[in-house]
Amino acid sequence: MPIKEPKVSSQDLWQDLRMADCGFFGGLTKRSLGNMKDVQIRTQGLLKIPELRGKAPRILSQVHGTKIFHAEKKAEKIPEGDGWIGREQSVLPVVLVADCVPLFIWSKKSPVFGVFHAGWRGLAKSFAYIAATEMQKIFNARAQDLLASAGPHIGACCCKVGPEIKEFFPAEDFIEDKKSLRLDLNFETKNQLLRSGLSEDSIRLSSECTVCSPGYFSYRNGEAARMAAFMTAGAQKED
């Protein structure tokens, strides 16, 4: 099955333009907006974007797991997990990434959405599948109404892994030659989304590699900085 690329357009943000078509605003910050681990930079870089002014940012303590939280405006503490689902327009759910997959899922029929941090450890536990099925269960969203997009992340060109990783994924997820064993996170993400009931036409996967591209921060390149993946509901378009 060929990979379908999202249509993207922004200087400082990677965005799947289908989000705006459904009444959402989301994307992945690029290097030009700075290190999103820094609270001050995150505030200046994100909340000054016109579409995000007045939004209440929500951040996770990420653990490379599969726990998902409902993004609400009132929160007493930072939860420990790797994904947000929500429907409130006043909230800005954020996950931080640098090589892991920034996964976005949203409905084209109702104002429900999710943003997730899916690294190989999370995908080994079927996180993309869990994320999509959780949205169907919690919001009573139909699989045929959901769209999904994976933003730039470490590509199969650079995702070298050891042989011990083979036990966590099917053989078709790997590219192996005499020099290395590499894991294709796009391939696994897509297959998990398909298993959750999403159609192939609804899924878009970026082939931009954060290790190769100078426009993104990369953990594999020894960088401690992070990008912010975010999504929020706006005015929902009517049929």
What's the domain count of the chain?
1
Q: Which residues pair with 83 in a beta bridge?
A: 68, 116
Interior/surface letters 10-22, b for 16+ CB within 10 angstroms, e for the rest: eeebbbbebbeeb
Per-residue confidence (pLDDT) for residue 9, from 0 to 100: 62
Q: CA-to-CA distance for 2 and 32, rounded, in angstroms?
A: 31
**Is residue 4 in a domain?**
no
Domain interval for residue 77: 13-156+186-233
CATH code for the domain of 208: 3.60.140.10
**Is residue 2 in a domain?**
no
**Is residue 193 in a domain?**
yes
Per-residue confidence (pLDDT) for residue 236, from 0 to 100: 42
Q: CA-to-CA distance for 159 and 180, rounded, in angstroms?
A: 10
**Is residue 209 in a domain?**
yes
Q: How far is CA 35 from CA 32, 96, 143, 184, in A?
A: 9, 10, 35, 26
Q: What's the alpha-carbon Rg for the chain, to the nearest Å?
A: 17
Token pair of 80 as six digits? 């420990």
SS3 85: strand
Per-residue confidence (pLDDT) for residue 5, from 0 to 100: 76
**Is residue 69 in a domain?**
yes
Q: CA-to-CA distance for 44 and 97, rounded, in angstroms?
A: 18
Per-residue confidence (pLDDT) for residue 237, from 0 to 100: 43
**Is residue 176 in a domain?**
no
Are 130 and 66 spatial neighbours (Cβ–Cβ below 8 Å)? yes
Per-residue confidence (pLDDT) for residue 48, from 0 to 100: 85
pTM of the model: 0.94
**Is residue 40 in a domain?**
yes
Can you give the pLDDT of all 239 residues of the chain as single tens digits?
A: 556 777 676 789 999 999 999 999 999 999 999 999 999 999 888 888 889 988 989 999 999 999 999 998 776 689 999 999 999 999 999 999 999 999 999 999 999 999 999 999 999 999 999 999 999 999 999 999 999 999 999 999 999 999 999 999 999 999 998 889 999 999 999 999 999 999 999 999 999 999 999 999 999 999 999 999 999 997 444 43
